[in-house]
Amino acid sequence: MPEFKYPVYRPNLTGNEKRYVNECLDSSWISSKGAFVARFEKEFAAYVGAASATSCSNGTVSLHLALLALGIGEGDEIIVPTFTYVASVNAIRYVGATPVFVDSNLSDWQLDVELVKRALTPRTKAVMAVHLYGQACPMLELAELCKKHGLYLVEDCAEALGTRIGKSHVGIVGDIGSFSFFGNKTITTGEGGMLVSNRPELIARCAHLKSQAVSPERTYWHDAVGFNYRMTNICAAIGTAQLERINSIVAKKRALAFKYRDELAALSQVIFHDEQPGTTHSFWMVSIRVADETTRDALRQHLAKNGIETRPGFPPSHFFPMHSAFAAGQVFERGELLGATTMNLPSYPDLSSLDVEEICSHIRNFFGVH
Ligand SMILES: *Cc1c(COP(=O)(O)O)cnc(C)c1O
Protein backbone atom coordinates (compact mmCIF):
# COMPACT_ATOMS: atom_id res chain seq x y z
CA MET A 1 0.00 0.00 0.00
CA PRO A 2 1.40 3.41 -0.90
CA GLU A 3 2.15 5.70 2.00
CA PHE A 4 0.14 8.88 1.78
CA LYS A 5 1.79 12.11 2.83
CA TYR A 6 -1.60 13.04 4.27
CA PRO A 7 -3.67 10.08 5.49
CA VAL A 8 -7.37 10.64 6.22
CA TYR A 9 -6.71 9.99 9.88
CA ARG A 10 -3.92 9.48 12.38
CA PRO A 11 -4.58 9.49 16.13
CA ASN A 12 -2.59 11.76 18.41
CA LEU A 13 -1.16 9.66 21.27
CA THR A 14 1.27 12.17 22.72
CA GLY A 15 -0.31 12.66 26.16
CA ASN A 16 -0.29 10.19 29.05
CA GLU A 17 -1.19 7.19 26.84
CA LYS A 18 2.20 5.47 27.13
CA ARG A 19 2.51 6.21 30.84
CA TYR A 20 -0.91 4.78 31.67
CA VAL A 21 -0.40 1.70 29.49
CA ASN A 22 2.92 1.11 31.25
CA GLU A 23 1.08 1.34 34.57
CA CYS A 24 -1.14 -1.51 33.36
CA LEU A 25 1.88 -3.57 32.31
CA ASP A 26 3.85 -2.86 35.50
CA SER A 27 0.89 -3.78 37.70
CA SER A 28 -0.11 -6.75 35.45
CA TRP A 29 -3.72 -5.40 35.28
CA ILE A 30 -4.00 -5.86 31.53
CA SER A 31 -7.37 -7.58 31.17
CA SER A 32 -10.87 -6.23 31.73
CA LYS A 33 -10.42 -5.72 35.46
CA GLY A 34 -8.39 -2.75 36.66
CA ALA A 35 -8.70 0.80 37.85
CA PHE A 36 -8.64 2.51 34.44
CA VAL A 37 -11.93 0.92 33.32
CA ALA A 38 -14.01 2.55 36.07
CA ARG A 39 -12.00 5.77 35.81
CA PHE A 40 -12.54 6.09 32.06
CA GLU A 41 -16.27 5.37 32.45
CA LYS A 42 -16.66 7.95 35.20
CA GLU A 43 -14.70 10.65 33.39
CA PHE A 44 -16.46 9.96 30.10
CA ALA A 45 -19.89 10.22 31.76
CA ALA A 46 -18.83 13.54 33.30
CA TYR A 47 -17.61 14.87 29.93
CA VAL A 48 -20.90 14.17 28.14
CA GLY A 49 -23.02 15.06 31.18
CA ALA A 50 -24.56 11.59 31.57
CA ALA A 51 -25.70 10.06 34.85
CA SER A 52 -24.13 6.74 33.97
CA ALA A 53 -21.77 5.08 31.47
CA THR A 54 -20.35 1.64 30.78
CA SER A 55 -17.49 0.73 28.46
CA CYS A 56 -17.38 -2.13 25.96
CA SER A 57 -15.14 -3.61 23.31
CA ASN A 58 -16.23 -1.51 20.31
CA GLY A 59 -18.92 0.82 18.97
CA THR A 60 -20.78 -1.96 17.14
CA VAL A 61 -21.36 -4.16 20.18
CA SER A 62 -22.31 -1.05 22.15
CA LEU A 63 -25.23 -0.55 19.74
CA HIS A 64 -26.08 -4.25 20.15
CA LEU A 65 -26.10 -3.86 23.96
CA ALA A 66 -28.23 -0.69 23.73
CA LEU A 67 -30.94 -2.48 21.74
CA LEU A 68 -30.82 -5.52 24.05
CA ALA A 69 -31.10 -3.30 27.13
CA LEU A 70 -34.24 -1.71 25.66
CA GLY A 71 -35.72 -5.16 25.06
CA ILE A 72 -35.87 -4.69 21.29
CA GLY A 73 -36.20 -7.90 19.31
CA GLU A 74 -38.03 -9.83 16.64
CA GLY A 75 -41.09 -8.13 15.16
CA ASP A 76 -39.95 -4.67 16.25
CA GLU A 77 -39.28 -2.02 13.63
CA ILE A 78 -36.44 0.42 14.12
CA ILE A 79 -36.27 3.53 11.94
CA VAL A 80 -32.72 4.23 10.77
CA PRO A 81 -31.22 6.43 8.04
CA THR A 82 -29.94 4.37 5.12
CA PHE A 83 -27.08 6.88 4.75
CA THR A 84 -25.03 5.70 7.74
CA TYR A 85 -22.14 3.41 8.55
CA VAL A 86 -23.29 -0.20 8.21
CA ALA A 87 -22.83 -0.99 11.93
CA SER A 88 -25.97 1.03 12.82
CA VAL A 89 -28.06 -1.32 10.68
CA ASN A 90 -26.16 -4.50 11.59
CA ALA A 91 -26.94 -3.96 15.28
CA ILE A 92 -30.67 -3.85 14.46
CA ARG A 93 -30.28 -7.16 12.63
CA TYR A 94 -28.31 -8.76 15.53
CA VAL A 95 -31.41 -8.54 17.77
CA GLY A 96 -33.68 -9.83 14.99
CA ALA A 97 -35.51 -6.50 14.59
CA THR A 98 -36.47 -4.95 11.26
CA PRO A 99 -34.58 -1.91 9.97
CA VAL A 100 -36.95 0.61 8.38
CA PHE A 101 -34.85 2.89 6.19
CA VAL A 102 -35.49 6.60 5.81
CA ASP A 103 -33.84 9.16 3.59
CA SER A 104 -31.59 12.01 4.78
CA ASN A 105 -31.54 15.77 4.27
CA LEU A 106 -29.14 17.25 1.73
CA SER A 107 -28.68 20.23 4.08
CA ASP A 108 -27.21 18.42 7.12
CA TRP A 109 -26.83 14.83 5.79
CA GLN A 110 -28.90 13.56 8.77
CA LEU A 111 -32.19 11.63 8.80
CA ASP A 112 -35.25 13.57 7.66
CA VAL A 113 -37.69 13.90 10.57
CA GLU A 114 -40.71 14.33 8.26
CA LEU A 115 -39.89 10.98 6.67
CA VAL A 116 -39.49 9.39 10.12
CA LYS A 117 -43.10 10.44 10.81
CA ARG A 118 -44.26 8.82 7.58
CA ALA A 119 -42.39 5.59 8.38
CA LEU A 120 -44.20 5.01 11.68
CA THR A 121 -46.31 1.85 11.97
CA PRO A 122 -47.88 0.07 14.97
CA ARG A 123 -44.73 -2.08 15.09
CA THR A 124 -42.30 0.85 15.35
CA LYS A 125 -40.37 0.47 18.58
CA ALA A 126 -37.46 2.90 18.27
CA VAL A 127 -35.66 5.46 16.17
CA MET A 128 -31.92 5.20 15.74
CA ALA A 129 -30.52 8.69 15.28
CA VAL A 130 -27.00 8.64 13.82
CA HIS A 131 -25.02 11.87 14.22
CA LEU A 132 -23.15 11.45 10.97
CA TYR A 133 -19.63 12.81 10.41
CA GLY A 134 -19.84 14.93 13.58
CA GLN A 135 -23.03 16.93 12.89
CA ALA A 136 -25.96 16.50 15.30
CA CYS A 137 -29.35 15.17 14.17
CA PRO A 138 -32.39 17.37 14.90
CA MET A 139 -32.78 15.76 18.32
CA LEU A 140 -35.37 18.08 19.82
CA GLU A 141 -37.84 17.25 17.03
CA LEU A 142 -36.99 13.56 17.25
CA ALA A 143 -37.32 13.46 21.03
CA GLU A 144 -40.73 15.12 20.83
CA LEU A 145 -41.87 12.68 18.14
CA CYS A 146 -40.63 9.65 20.09
CA LYS A 147 -42.29 10.86 23.27
CA LYS A 148 -45.59 11.43 21.48
CA HIS A 149 -45.59 7.90 20.02
CA GLY A 150 -44.01 6.06 22.97
CA LEU A 151 -40.85 5.12 21.04
CA TYR A 152 -37.32 4.61 22.27
CA LEU A 153 -34.68 6.95 20.93
CA VAL A 154 -31.21 5.46 20.46
CA GLU A 155 -28.31 7.74 19.54
CA ASP A 156 -25.40 6.37 17.51
CA CYS A 157 -22.75 8.91 18.54
CA ALA A 158 -19.78 6.96 17.15
CA GLU A 159 -18.84 9.95 14.97
CA ALA A 160 -20.01 12.64 17.35
CA LEU A 161 -17.78 12.97 20.38
CA GLY A 162 -17.66 16.71 21.07
CA THR A 163 -20.90 17.33 19.14
CA ARG A 164 -23.45 19.48 20.93
CA ILE A 165 -26.96 20.84 20.58
CA GLY A 166 -26.97 24.12 22.45
CA LYS A 167 -24.77 23.39 25.42
CA SER A 168 -25.74 19.72 25.74
CA HIS A 169 -23.60 16.94 24.40
CA VAL A 170 -25.28 14.41 22.11
CA GLY A 171 -26.02 10.95 23.52
CA ILE A 172 -28.18 11.97 26.48
CA VAL A 173 -31.23 13.44 24.73
CA GLY A 174 -32.48 9.99 23.76
CA ASP A 175 -32.81 6.95 26.02
CA ILE A 176 -29.28 5.73 25.41
CA GLY A 177 -26.20 6.87 23.48
CA SER A 178 -23.43 4.76 21.95
CA PHE A 179 -19.84 5.83 21.18
CA SER A 180 -16.88 4.24 19.34
CA PHE A 181 -13.16 4.55 20.03
CA PHE A 182 -11.84 2.92 16.84
CA GLY A 183 -8.45 4.21 15.66
CA ASN A 184 -9.90 6.93 13.44
CA LYS A 185 -12.54 8.21 15.83
CA THR A 186 -12.20 11.54 17.68
CA ILE A 187 -10.62 9.78 20.64
CA THR A 188 -9.39 6.21 20.38
CA THR A 189 -8.63 3.20 22.53
CA GLY A 190 -7.56 1.11 19.51
CA GLU A 191 -10.90 -0.66 19.60
CA GLY A 192 -13.52 0.37 22.14
CA GLY A 193 -17.01 1.63 22.81
CA MET A 194 -19.09 3.36 25.48
CA LEU A 195 -22.76 3.56 26.40
CA VAL A 196 -24.19 6.57 28.21
CA SER A 197 -27.62 7.32 29.62
CA ASN A 198 -29.49 9.36 32.16
CA ARG A 199 -31.40 6.18 32.95
CA PRO A 200 -28.87 4.26 35.10
CA GLU A 201 -30.98 1.07 34.99
CA LEU A 202 -30.32 0.85 31.22
CA ILE A 203 -26.57 1.15 31.72
CA ALA A 204 -26.71 -1.46 34.50
CA ARG A 205 -28.47 -3.82 32.06
CA CYS A 206 -25.76 -3.21 29.43
CA ALA A 207 -23.02 -3.80 32.02
CA HIS A 208 -24.69 -7.05 33.08
CA LEU A 209 -25.03 -8.34 29.51
CA LYS A 210 -21.52 -7.35 28.43
CA SER A 211 -20.05 -9.47 31.20
CA GLN A 212 -21.69 -12.89 30.59
CA ALA A 213 -24.85 -11.85 32.51
CA VAL A 214 -23.20 -12.99 35.68
CA SER A 215 -25.37 -12.89 38.79
CA PRO A 216 -24.39 -10.22 41.30
CA GLU A 217 -25.32 -12.59 44.16
CA ARG A 218 -23.98 -15.98 43.20
CA THR A 219 -20.51 -16.83 41.82
CA TYR A 220 -20.45 -18.48 38.37
CA TRP A 221 -24.21 -18.14 38.10
CA HIS A 222 -25.55 -16.58 34.89
CA ASP A 223 -29.14 -15.44 34.56
CA ALA A 224 -29.33 -14.59 30.84
CA VAL A 225 -27.51 -15.30 27.56
CA GLY A 226 -24.73 -12.78 28.07
CA PHE A 227 -21.72 -11.72 26.06
CA ASN A 228 -18.07 -10.98 26.56
CA TYR A 229 -18.12 -7.41 25.27
CA ARG A 230 -15.85 -5.91 27.94
CA MET A 231 -13.15 -3.27 27.43
CA THR A 232 -9.64 -4.09 28.66
CA ASN A 233 -7.82 -2.01 31.25
CA ILE A 234 -5.13 -1.26 28.61
CA CYS A 235 -7.75 0.21 26.26
CA ALA A 236 -9.30 2.17 29.12
CA ALA A 237 -5.83 3.49 30.04
CA ILE A 238 -5.42 4.84 26.51
CA GLY A 239 -8.96 6.25 26.61
CA THR A 240 -8.35 7.98 29.94
CA ALA A 241 -5.28 9.70 28.51
CA GLN A 242 -7.11 10.64 25.31
CA LEU A 243 -10.05 12.08 27.24
CA GLU A 244 -7.70 14.36 29.22
CA ARG A 245 -7.07 16.19 25.92
CA ILE A 246 -10.57 16.02 24.40
CA ASN A 247 -11.16 19.78 24.51
CA SER A 248 -7.97 20.57 22.63
CA ILE A 249 -8.56 17.73 20.13
CA VAL A 250 -12.08 18.96 19.31
CA ALA A 251 -10.92 22.60 19.16
CA LYS A 252 -8.15 21.65 16.70
CA LYS A 253 -10.54 19.66 14.53
CA ARG A 254 -13.00 22.56 14.41
CA ALA A 255 -10.23 25.01 13.55
CA LEU A 256 -9.08 22.70 10.74
CA ALA A 257 -12.59 22.42 9.35
CA PHE A 258 -13.02 26.20 9.25
CA LYS A 259 -9.59 26.57 7.65
CA TYR A 260 -10.62 24.11 4.90
CA ARG A 261 -13.86 26.03 4.39
CA ASP A 262 -12.02 29.33 4.06
CA GLU A 263 -9.50 27.85 1.63
CA LEU A 264 -12.28 26.39 -0.54
CA ALA A 265 -14.67 29.34 -0.23
CA ALA A 266 -14.16 30.45 -3.84
CA LEU A 267 -15.11 27.03 -5.24
CA SER A 268 -18.80 26.89 -6.09
CA GLN A 269 -18.22 23.23 -7.08
CA VAL A 270 -17.56 22.21 -3.49
CA ILE A 271 -20.33 22.12 -0.86
CA PHE A 272 -18.96 21.97 2.65
CA HIS A 273 -20.67 19.81 5.33
CA ASP A 274 -21.51 22.83 7.40
CA GLU A 275 -22.37 23.40 11.03
CA GLN A 276 -26.14 23.75 11.53
CA PRO A 277 -27.54 26.67 13.58
CA GLY A 278 -27.75 25.96 17.32
CA THR A 279 -25.32 23.03 17.14
CA THR A 280 -21.60 22.45 17.62
CA HIS A 281 -20.24 20.28 14.79
CA SER A 282 -17.25 18.29 16.04
CA PHE A 283 -16.05 17.63 12.48
CA TRP A 284 -15.05 14.01 13.11
CA MET A 285 -14.36 14.14 9.39
CA VAL A 286 -14.11 17.26 7.28
CA SER A 287 -16.57 16.36 4.55
CA ILE A 288 -17.53 17.87 1.21
CA ARG A 289 -20.04 17.20 -1.54
CA VAL A 290 -19.51 17.70 -5.27
CA ALA A 291 -21.85 17.56 -8.30
CA ASP A 292 -21.73 13.88 -9.19
CA GLU A 293 -19.99 10.57 -8.62
CA THR A 294 -17.65 10.94 -11.62
CA THR A 295 -16.35 14.26 -10.30
CA ARG A 296 -16.00 12.86 -6.77
CA ASP A 297 -14.03 9.83 -7.93
CA ALA A 298 -11.82 11.89 -10.25
CA LEU A 299 -11.10 14.38 -7.44
CA ARG A 300 -10.21 11.53 -5.08
CA GLN A 301 -7.85 10.11 -7.71
CA HIS A 302 -6.24 13.50 -8.33
CA LEU A 303 -5.64 13.94 -4.60
CA ALA A 304 -4.30 10.38 -4.21
CA LYS A 305 -1.75 11.09 -6.95
CA ASN A 306 -0.61 14.02 -4.86
CA GLY A 307 -0.19 11.96 -1.69
CA ILE A 308 -3.54 12.90 -0.16
CA GLU A 309 -5.77 10.13 1.10
CA THR A 310 -9.53 10.71 1.09
CA ARG A 311 -12.51 8.50 1.77
CA PRO A 312 -15.80 8.30 -0.12
CA GLY A 313 -19.12 8.83 1.69
CA PHE A 314 -20.74 5.66 3.01
CA PRO A 315 -22.75 3.74 0.43
CA PRO A 316 -26.37 3.76 1.66
CA SER A 317 -27.03 0.62 3.70
CA HIS A 318 -29.97 -0.55 1.56
CA PHE A 319 -27.45 -1.12 -1.28
CA PHE A 320 -25.83 -3.97 0.67
CA PRO A 321 -27.03 -7.47 -0.26
CA MET A 322 -27.85 -8.51 3.33
CA HIS A 323 -29.96 -5.40 3.99
CA SER A 324 -31.52 -4.65 0.58
CA ALA A 325 -34.67 -6.71 1.17
CA PHE A 326 -35.65 -4.26 3.94
CA ALA A 327 -35.82 -1.43 1.40
CA ALA A 328 -38.45 -3.34 -0.60
CA GLY A 329 -37.38 -1.71 -3.85
CA GLN A 330 -37.70 1.84 -2.52
CA VAL A 331 -35.40 4.53 -3.84
CA PHE A 332 -33.73 6.83 -1.30
CA GLU A 333 -32.73 9.56 -3.69
CA ARG A 334 -30.89 11.85 -1.28
CA GLY A 335 -29.07 9.10 0.63
CA GLU A 336 -27.98 7.60 -2.66
CA LEU A 337 -26.80 10.99 -3.91
CA LEU A 338 -24.91 11.65 -0.67
CA GLY A 339 -23.25 8.22 -0.84
CA ALA A 340 -22.11 8.91 -4.40
CA THR A 341 -21.03 12.54 -4.17
CA THR A 342 -19.55 13.07 -0.70
CA MET A 343 -16.00 12.50 0.53
CA ASN A 344 -13.92 13.01 3.65
CA LEU A 345 -10.69 15.00 3.59
CA PRO A 346 -7.69 14.44 5.92
CA SER A 347 -9.12 15.35 9.34
CA TYR A 348 -6.61 14.48 12.06
CA PRO A 349 -5.82 16.99 14.80
CA ASP A 350 -2.10 17.23 13.99
CA LEU A 351 -2.64 18.67 10.49
CA SER A 352 -1.26 22.20 10.36
CA SER A 353 -2.69 25.24 8.58
CA LEU A 354 0.06 24.87 5.98
CA ASP A 355 -0.93 21.24 5.41
CA VAL A 356 -4.54 22.29 4.81
CA GLU A 357 -3.37 25.01 2.42
CA GLU A 358 -1.38 22.44 0.44
CA ILE A 359 -4.32 19.99 0.30
CA CYS A 360 -6.70 22.76 -0.76
CA SER A 361 -4.35 24.02 -3.47
CA HIS A 362 -4.62 20.54 -5.08
CA ILE A 363 -8.42 20.70 -4.82
CA ARG A 364 -8.44 24.15 -6.46
CA ASN A 365 -6.08 22.88 -9.20
CA PHE A 366 -8.45 20.00 -9.91
CA PHE A 367 -11.28 22.46 -10.57
CA GLY A 368 -8.97 24.83 -12.50
CA VAL A 369 -9.41 27.63 -9.95
CA HIS A 370 -6.37 29.37 -8.47
C1 LIG B 1 -17.48 3.68 13.73
C2 LIG B 1 -18.95 3.58 13.75
C3 LIG B 1 -19.63 2.55 14.41
C4 LIG B 1 -18.97 1.32 14.93
O5 LIG B 1 -17.93 1.49 15.76
P6 LIG B 1 -16.76 0.40 15.86
O7 LIG B 1 -16.06 0.81 17.10
O8 LIG B 1 -15.93 0.53 14.63
O9 LIG B 1 -17.40 -0.95 15.99
C10 LIG B 1 -21.01 2.62 14.49
N11 LIG B 1 -21.70 3.61 13.91
C12 LIG B 1 -21.09 4.59 13.23
C13 LIG B 1 -21.92 5.69 12.64
C14 LIG B 1 -19.70 4.61 13.11
O15 LIG B 1 -19.09 5.58 12.42
Question: Structural domains in the chain?
Answer: 17-243 (3.40.640.10), 246-366 (3.90.1150.10)
Percent with pLDDT over 90 in the chain: 97
Q: Using the 8-state DSSP alphabet, how is residue 125 labeled?
A: E
Q: What integer is the mean pLDDT of 352-365?
A: 98
Asked whether residue 241 carries a pLDDT value surpassing 80, the answer given is yes
The secondary structure of 178-246 as a DSSP string is: EEE-BTTSSS--BS-EEEEES-HHHHHHHHHHHBTTB-SSSTT-B-S---B-PPPHHHHHHHHHHHHTH
Q: How far is the CA of 368 from the centre of ligand 1 (A)?
A: 36
- Split at pLDDT 50, 70, 90, the class of 2 is low
Q: How far is the CA of 74 from the centre of ligand 1 (A)?
A: 23
For residue 58 and ligand 1, the question of a CB distance below 6 A is answered with yes
Phi, psi of 232 (to 5 degrees): -85, 160
**What is the C-alpha end-to-end distance of the chain, expressed in Å?**
31
Tell me the CA distances in angstroms from 346 to 172, 341, 350, 352, 357, one per residue in order: 29, 17, 10, 11, 12
Q: Is 161 in the pocket of ligand 1 (CB under 6 A)?
A: no
pLDDT over threshold 90, residue 370: no
Cβ burial 2-26 (10 Å sphere, 16+ → b, else e): eebebbbbbbbeebbbeebbebbee
| pTM exceeds 0.85 for this model | yes
Beta-strand ranges (E) seen in 114-159 are 124-130, 152-156
Q: Which atom of ligand 1 is least distant from the CA of 182?
A: 7
* Residue whose CB lies within 8 A of the most ligand 1 atoms, among 67, 180, 285, 311, for a mutation test: 180
* Confidence at residue 222, expressed as pLDDT on a 0 to 100 scale: 96
* Ligand 1 pocket check for 99: Cβ under 6 Å: no
Instruction: Ligand 1, residue 87: give the atom nearest the CA.
Output: 10
Percentage of the chain modeled with pLDDT above 70: 99
Taking residues 76-80, report their average pLDDT: 98
C-beta of 156 in contact with ligand 1 (< 6 A): yes
Q: How many residues does the chain have?
A: 370
**In whole angstroms, what separates CA 289 from the centre of its chain?**
19
What is the average per-residue pLDDT within 134-159?
98
Looking at residue 138, its pLDDT comes to: 96
Please state, in angstroms and as integers, the Cα–Cα distance from residue 351 to each residue in 70, 143, 185, following that order: 41, 37, 15
The pLDDT score that the predictor gives to residue 259 is: 98
**pLDDT higher than 90, residue 216:** no
Decide whether any atom of ligand 1 lies within 6 Å of the 88 Cβ.
yes
Question: Does any ligand 1 atom lie closer than 6 A to the CB of residue 186?
Answer: no
- Rounded distance between C-alpha atoms, residue 348 and residue 33, angstroms: 31
Q: Which amino acid is at 315?
A: P
Task: Report whether residue 163 contacts ligand 1, using a CB cutoff of 6 Å.
Answer: no
**CB of 159 closer than 6 A to ligand 1?**
yes
| Cβ(180)–Cβ(57) below 8 Å | no
The closest-lying atom of ligand 1 relative to the alpha carbon of residue 130 is: 13
246-263 helix and 353-366 helix, angle to the nearest 10 degrees? 30
Helix (H) or strand (E) holding 63: helix 59-69
**Quick one: average pLDDT of 235-255?**
98
Q: Which DSSP symbol is given to 154?
A: E
Report whether residue 154 contacts ligand 1, using a CB cutoff of 6 Å.
Answer: no
* Residue identifier of the C-alpha nearest atom 2 of ligand 1: 158
For 50, left (φ over 0), alpha (ψ -120 to 50), or beta? beta
3 pLDDT tier (thresholds 50, 70, 90) = confident
Cβ of residue 84 lying under 6 Å from some atom of ligand 1 = yes
